């Protein structure tokens, strides 16, 4: 059965605590209305019983919305209230994804290579650094993505990230600050992009200034287990373009369930069932057509093992302006 999902205003302190309505209560309401309809047909003219049915429906819907709501399953609900940070990581420097000095922005820099560098070999050592962002193994990190390859995790900026087997032509590097939960820092200075060339100059992997650039920080892990599987984040950033209801939007699907949003992330997925899941995300135009671009589409496959919560109910995400892109897929209540 299909539950109804309500997005929450982003300014609400519980913005990540979306609610669902048990679809079985809808079935009960509809069954009662159908029974009442047959009885009214016997004693009232057509127009009369039709009007009564309409009034009953108008009263039943708000009642169901008011009394049939329930929160996400614990402990995913508590994690979402904390911005997706597990209780064990909340307040821990190097794990909570927050700047060391809240009054200043997080800054990420690519120290090497220089922008526009021309290389003769087929390998590259990339050095990055961060300011106002504590890194810790298994926690906060800098993710470095080359072209459309899977991003690499940097916990120690003294060590380079080495990319091998580079093809001839242009390439694009992206580096961005990410918390231990996979959520990006939203500071503009926490994301940096750089181009370089290998053996020849062309625009093979270099986007034009007009192309939207979709960057996904999470899900990234190949396998999620135990605590990490309680609340999986889908977080993204759109560069060189802004999302809006009438402009560019983000279309994404998890295991074939398609959704559309123009809000910022993250999207929360609690209690995904064990097994392989596939995420496809792409930027589309106002007509819903994919926007041309070499970094416009991302596909990610990941596996959930030992999920600590029951399997979820599949449901589409309701979208709207000025709301968090928060999808809640919760287990069916007993």
pLDDT in tens, 175-228: 999 999 899 999 999 999 999 999 999 999 999 998 999 999 999 878 998 888
Separation CA 253–CA 257 (nearest Å):
5
**What integer is the mean pLDDT of 149-166?**
96
Give the model's pLDDT for residue 226.
Answer: 84
Q: Tokens 């596939």 appear where?
A: 278
Q: Coil, strand, or helix at residue 32?
A: helix
Least confident interval from 221-230, 236-245, 314-323: 314-323
Contacts of 119 (CB under 8 A, 6+ apart): 113, 166, 196, 197, 198, 199
Separation CA 198–CA 186 (nearest Å):
32
| Exposed/middle/buried for residue 7 (C-beta within 10 Å: 0-12, 13-18, 19+) | buried
Of 266, 296, 298, which Cα lies nearest the Cα of 283?
A: 296
Separation CA 260–CA 274 (nearest Å):
25
Separation CA 21–CA 63 (nearest Å):
11
Give the model's pLDDT for residue 186.
Answer: 94
Cis peptide before 111 (omega within 30 of 0): no
Beta pairing partners, 193? 174
Strand 117-119 versus strand 191-198 pairing type: parallel
**What integer is the mean pLDDT of 254-272?**
92
Beta pairing partners, 175? 144, 192
Separation CA 86–CA 233 (nearest Å):
12
**What integer is the mean pLDDT of 269-288?**
93
Give the model's pLDDT for residue 132.
Answer: 97
Q: Are 128 and 111 in contact (CB under 8 A)?
A: yes
Triad 190, 301, 242: Cα angle to 5°? 40
**CA end-to-end span of the chain:** 13
Please state the length of the chain: 334
Contacts of 320 (CB under 8 A, 6+ apart): 7
Q: Is the pLDDT of residue 271 over 50?
A: yes
Q: Is the pLDDT of residue 157 over 80?
A: yes
Rounded to a whole number of angstroms, the CA Rg of the chain reads: 24
Q: Which helix (H) or strand (E) holds 34?
A: helix 23-43
Separation CA 20–CA 5 (nearest Å):
5
Cis peptide before 219 (omega within 30 of 0): yes
All domains of the chain in start order, with CATH: 4-70 (no CATH), 85-206 (2.60.40.10), 212-334 (2.60.40.10)
Read off φ and ψ for residue 140, nearest 5 degrees.
Answer: -60, 145
Give the model's pLDDT for residue 165.
Answer: 93
Condensed to tens digits (0 to 9), the pLDDT of residues 41-94 reads 444 454 544 444 444 444 444 433 333 333 444 444 444 444 555 544 545 668
Triad 303, 282, 271: Cα angle to 5°? 30
Separation CA 134–CA 141 (nearest Å):
8
| Exposed/middle/buried for residue 101 (C-beta within 10 Å: 0-12, 13-18, 19+) | exposed
User: Which pair of tokens denotes residue 224?
Assistant: 């999620």
Q: What are the respective helix, strand and coil percentages of the chain, to the nearest 5?
A: 15, 35, 50
């Amino acid at each position: 059965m299909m539950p109804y999902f309500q997005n929450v205003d982003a300014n609400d302190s519980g913005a990540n605590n979306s609610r669902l309505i048990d679809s079985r209560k809808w079935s009960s309401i509809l069954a009662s209305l159908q029974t009442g309809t047959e009885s009214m047909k016997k004693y009232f003219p057509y127009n009369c019983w039709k009007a009564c049915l309409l009034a009953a429906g108008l009263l039943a819907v708000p009642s169901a919305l008011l009394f049939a709501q329930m929160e996400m399953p614990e402990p995913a609900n508590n994690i979402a209230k904390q911005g997706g940070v597990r209780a064990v990581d909340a307040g821990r420097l190097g794990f909570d994804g927050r700047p060391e000095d809240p009054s200043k922005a997080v800054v990420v820099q690519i120290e090497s290579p220089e922008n526009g560098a021309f290389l003769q070999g087929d390998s590259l050592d990339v050095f990055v650094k961060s300011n106002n962002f504590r890194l810790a193994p298994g926690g906060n990190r800098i993710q470095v993505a080359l072209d459309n390859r899977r991003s690499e995790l940097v916990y120690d900026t003294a060590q380079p990230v080495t990319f091998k087997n580079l093809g001839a032509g242009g390439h694009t590097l992206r580096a961005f600050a990410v918390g231990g939960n996979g959520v990006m820092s939203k500071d503009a200075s926490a994301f940096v992009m750089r181009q370089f060339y290998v053996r020849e100059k062309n625009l093979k992997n270099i986007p034009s200034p007009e192309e939207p650039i979709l960057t996904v920080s999470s899900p990234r892990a190949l396998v999620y287990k135990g605590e990490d599987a309680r609340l999986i984040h889908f977080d993204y950033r759109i560069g060189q373009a802004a999302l809006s209801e009438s402009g560019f939007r983000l279309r994404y699907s998890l295991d074939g369930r398609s959704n559309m949003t123009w809000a910022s992330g993250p999207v929360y997925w609690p209690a995904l069932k064990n097994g392989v899941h596939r995420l496809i995300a792409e930027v589309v135009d106002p007509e819903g057509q994919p926007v041309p671009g070499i970094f416009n589409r991302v596909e990610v496959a990941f596996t959930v093992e030992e999920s600590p919560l029951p399997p979820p109910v599949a449901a589409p995400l309701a979208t709207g302006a000025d709301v968090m892109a928060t999808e809640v897929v919760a287990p069916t209540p007993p």
